Structure 1
Amino acid sequence: MQVTDIMSTPPVTVEAEATLYETIAVMLEHSVGSAVVVDEWMVGVITRSDILRAAYAAGDELDSIPVTRGMSDDVVTTKPETSIRHALELMRAHDIKKLPVVDDLDLVGVVTATDIARHQPERVRELQSAIERRDDWTD
């Protein structure tokens, strides 16, 4: 099975100029726990946990905190033809649970540990045993 078989499409994105408030609205609208941050190209990924950390650290109104303050900018990507096993190995190696999927230079989807759990739960157990939770807010 390949990433293309289970990835979420289209990818949920927010512009790099967005605030955390706007990012939360997009994530709630699409019922997702993360979004890819774009500025002509992918510049980061932000999760619910990232938003909580950034809001707490800033101690300010969510509509005044830029999404770039909370996002991870060291984005690890994969390709649609990548095997599920290899995608999990990437997640394990980089201690992440979400991989944007790119085809040439196009962002075409996102594959998450949750997507894999729906289709291959035995693979997720491998990932869970390898990734240590950083804190109770990590998702």
Structure 2
Amino acid sequence: MQVAQVMSSPVVTVTLDATLREAVRSMLERRVGSVVVLDTGPISIVTRSDALWGTYQDGGSLADIAVTDVMSRDLVMTTEQTSITTALDTMKQHEVKKLPVRDGMELVGIITMTDIAEHHPEVVHEVRNRISRKGDWSD
């Protein structure tokens, strides 16, 4: 099975100049656990855990924190044609639970551990074994 059959689309995004408040609002309104940060294309991701960690470290208002202060530095992506097994291996290798999906340079979806678990409950145990939490703040 391929990523295209399991991924969620469209992806919830924010621009590079967004505040953490805008990112959190987008996540809450769309009931998702992350937003992809766009510049001329996808450049990063901000998760719920990033938002919590950033707020904790900064101690300030969400409106005063830039997404650039909390976003991941290296965006790991996959393609629609990638197999679910390869996507899981990529998640394990990079210690992430969400992979934006691209078609060329275009952002076309996102695949998460939740997507895989919902579509393939038989691999939930395998998924748990493949991905270790990076601490209490991973998401």
Structure 2 length normalisation: TM-score? 0.95
Structure 1 equivalent of residue 51 of structure 2: 51
Alignment partners' CA distance in 2, 1:13 and 1:47? 11
Q: How many residues align?
A: 139
Give the letter aligned to residue 84 of structure 1. Answer: I
Rounded to whole Å, the distance in 2 between the matches of 1:124 and 1:74 is: 26
1:104-119 to 2 correspondences below 5 Å: 104-119=104-119
- In structure 2, the partner of 1:93 is 93
Q: For residues 40 and 78 of structure 1, what CA distance do their matches in structure 2 show?
A: 18
Distance 1:127 1:90 in 2: 12
SS at 1:56 equivalent: helix
Query: For the residues of structure 1 that align with 2:88 and 2:124, how far apart are their CA atoms?
Result: 8
The answer to whether the Cα contact below 8 Å between 1:91 and 1:127 also exists between their aligned partners in 2 is no
Alpha-carbon distance between aligned partners in 2 of 1:25 and 1:80, rounded to the nearest angstrom: 28
Is residue 106 of structure 2 the alignment partner of residue 75 of structure 1?
A: no
Give 1:135 deviation, angstroms.
Answer: 2.3
Q: Distance in 2 between matches of 1:40 and 1:118?
A: 32
Taking only the aligned residue pairs, the percentage that are identical comes to 50
TM superposition shift of 1:131: 2.3
Is the CA contact (8 Å cut-off) linking 2:91 and 2:98 kept in structure 1? yes
CA contact (8 A) 1:88 1:123 kept: no
**Separation in 2 of the partners of 1:31 and 1:73?**
24
Cα shift readout 1:9-52 (whole Å, capped 9, x = no counterpart): 00110111111111111111111000100011111001000001
Amino acid at match of 1:23: A
SS across alignment from 2:78: coil
SS at structure 1 position matched to 2:101: strand
SS of residue in 2 equivalent to 1:110: strand
Asked if structure 1 preserves the Cα contact closer than 8 Å seen for 2:95 and 2:134, the reply is no
Is the Cα–Cα contact under 8 Å of residues 9 and 108 in structure 1 kept in the other structure? Answer: yes
Structure 2 gaps of 5+ residues are: none
| CA shift digits 1:80-116 (9 cap, x unpaired) | 0111111111111111100000001100000001000
CA RMSD of aligned residues (A): 1.1
Query: Whole-Å Cα distance in 1 between the matches of residues 31 and 92 of structure 2?
Result: 25
Distance 2:88 2:122 in 1: 11
Over 4 Å off, 4+ runs: none
Match for 2:45: what amino acid?
V
User: Normalising by structure 1, what TM-score?
Assistant: 0.95
